[in-house]
Amino acid sequence: MDNDLALARGWVQGLPKKLGPVAQTRVFASSGKASPSLAAGGRFGASLSAAGHTLAEAGVTLERPADDPASLFRPTVNLRHFPSLPAGHYDNPAVHELVMAEFGDQALADVWVGSGDITLFEARGEELADLAPVRTGTGFRASMSYTVTEVRRLGE
Q: How does pLDDT run across 120-133, given as a tens digit for each residue?
A: 999 998 888 998 99
Q: Which residues are within 8 A (CB) of 48 and not within 5 positions of it... i.e. 6 or more apart?
A: 20, 21, 22, 23, 54, 55, 56
Domains, the chain: 4-27+36-153 (2.40.400.10)
Is residue 33 pLDDT above 70, yes or no? yes
Handedness of CA 53, 50, 153, 143 (dihedral sign): negative
- Give the whole-angstrom CA distance, residue 102 versus residue 24: 26
The pLDDT of 17-34, averaged and rounded, is 82
Question: How much is the pLDDT for 6?
Answer: 84
Q: Which residue has the higher pLDDT, 119 or 14?
A: 119
- Count Cβ atoms within 10 A of the Cβ of residue 45 and give its class: 0-12 exposed, 13-18 middle, 19 or more buried: middle
pLDDT given at position 106: 87
As a whole number, the mean pLDDT across the chain is 87
Predicted confidence at residue 11, as pLDDT, reads 84
Sorting pLDDT into bands at 50, 70 and 90, what band is 46? Answer: very high
Q: What is the pLDDT of residue 89?
A: 65
Percent of the chain with pLDDT over 70: 94
Confidence of residue 88 (pLDDT cuts 50, 70, 90): low
Q: Do 30 and 79 touch, CB atoms closer than 8 A?
A: no
CA distance 25 to 22: 10
Helix (H/G/I), strand (E/B), else coil: 129: helix
What pLDDT is attached to residue 18? 83
Q: Please report which confidence band the pLDDT of residue 64 belongs to, taking 50, 70 and 90 as the band edges.
A: very high
Q: Which residues of 128-152 are buried (b: 16+ CB within 10 A; e: fewer)?
A: beeeeeeeeeebbbeeeeeeeeebe
Q: What is residue 8's predicted lDDT score, i.e. its pLDDT?
A: 84
